[in-house]
Amino acid sequence: MDSKSGTETPQESGVEFFFNSAPPLKDRDQISQKLEVFITKISRSSESGKPIRVVCVTSGGTTVPLEQRCVRYIDNFSSGNRGAASTEYFVKAGYAVIFVHRWGSCQPYCRYLPQDSFLDFFDIAENSTIKVCEPHGTVVKGAIRDYRKAVEEGFLLKLSFTTIFEYLQILQMVATSMRCLKSHGMFYLAAAVSDFYVPWENMAKHKIQSAEGPLDMRLTQVPKMLLVLRKDWAPAAFCISFKLETDPDILLQKADMAMQKYGMHVVVANELATYKREVSVVTSGEKTRVCSHGQDHDLEEELIDLLVARHSEHIKKPSGIDMNE
Ligand code: PAZ
């Protein structure tokens, strides 16, 4: 709201329009219940000991449907590997993770399972049971053990999205339910989120017909939800966003801009050509490069260490709630 005129700013009306016109989330009640159970359990455990930190990790790309009965859509590049790997390291660091991921994208503890030849991993034993082929047995056992432990001890909640409409509605629900955690909450926004979308009411109801000639379509800008997250949904949380660019000359400048414009505490900047090997962690006044040490080394290991340390500093600050700190 513009405090001088008392009217809505264009950003606020864009946000309102987006949520009012989005198709309602199908499983809203179930998601809401899962979130309540998860956060309540964490809050109770925190009351009886050291407060448990919670991070919302977003992962994978959002789609933009072009038709209401969707046959075609625009997609955003992301395999979900970064989000899945980061989730594992956050759990290892003692965080409870809400993993908001694109349906079908890479999952925590499953990163080593082959997607193209899944059945090559297994064999039928003499007694007709299924066994994992060696040398994969050790990796699979470790993954099952870590995954079960994370879920059963209440340290991992997985919520999936496909479209930009689902993603932003789920993010809003997660953020508002994490508000009670104050500065112990963290957002690690690695998902590749569409910048443009087709509003539901402007969208063709049925499959667009090619017989009608070339397709001329106007896309609306997705409102900048980072600002809303930081200002309204969870103002005391520690917020990390990601910036992916293909042009190295504009990457750090765009990361600085995201920090200032949206009040992010950290922006992780990466370039499409090198994003698996190298990222820059940008905070106010500091840029740190984090690199992978080889093919089998996850740069997320060091990245999460660094972010956990920054989060600890944020928790200690009395001004954690201030948007303009
Ligand atoms: O999911 P992935 O491991 O294939 O890729 C990760 C990434 C490049 C999508 C992520 O590091 C990132 O930069 N996300 C934000 C993308 C954006 O600027 O919208």
pLDDT single digits (tens) 95-132: 999 999 999 999 999 987 766 677 888 899 999 999 98
Torsion of CA 197, 28, 35, 1, to 10 degrees: 50
Give the range of the structural domain holding residue 202, as residue numbers without chain letter: 23-109+155-316
* Average pLDDT rounded to a whole number, residues 240-256: 97
* Cα 192 to averaged position of ligand 1 atoms, centre (Å): 5
Residues β-bridged to residue 77: none
Q: Could you report the predicted ipTM of this complex, rounded to two decimals?
A: 0.99
The per-residue pLDDT for 324 is 42
pTM, full prediction:
0.94
Q: Report yes or no on 8 lying in a domain.
A: no
Tally the domains of the chain. 1
For the stretch 128-174, pLDDT in tens is: 999 988 888 888 899 999 999 999 999 999 999 999 999 999 999 99
Look at residues 21, 106, 97 and name the one whose alpha carbon lies nearest to residue 61.
106
Q: What is the CATH number of the domain that holds 283?
A: 3.40.50.10300
Residue 117 lies in a domain: no
Residue with the smallest CA separation from ligand 1 atom 14 is 190
78, part of any domain: yes
CA 276 to centroid of ligand 1, rounded, Å: 10
DSSP string spanning 118-153? GGGGEEE-TTS-EEEPTTSHHHHHHHHHHHHHHHHT
Q: Which atom of ligand 1 is nearest to the CA of 272?
A: 8
In a domain, 84, yes or no: yes
* Rounded Cα distance, 288 and 5, in Å: 42
Question: Helix, strand or coil for residue 167?
Answer: helix
Give domain status of residue 11, yes or no.
no
Residue 222 lies in a domain: yes
Cα–Cα distance measured from residue 69 to residue 82, given in angstroms and rounded to the nearest whole number? 31
Measured from the CB, is residue 188 less than 6 Å from ligand 1? Answer: no
Cα–Cα separations (whole angstroms), residue 84 to 111, 123, 153, 169, 278? 7, 27, 18, 21, 17
- Residue from 227, 264, 235, 263 nearest 176 by CA: 235
- Helix (H) or strand (E) holding 249, with range, is helix 248-262
Residue type, 309: A
Task: Kindly state whether residue 147 falls inside one of the protein's structural domains.
Answer: no
Structure tokens at 119: 């059945």
Q: Atom 5, ligand 1: which residue's CA is nearest? A: 78
Q: Is the dihedral of CA 143, 147, 149, 150 positive or negative?
A: positive
Q: What is the mean pLDDT of residues 312-316?
A: 96
Q: What is the pLDDT of residues 15-63, one digit of tens each?
A: 999 999 999 999 999 999 999 999 999 999 888 888 999 999 999 999 9
In a domain, 127, yes or no: no
Any ligand 1 atom below 6 A from CB of 150: no
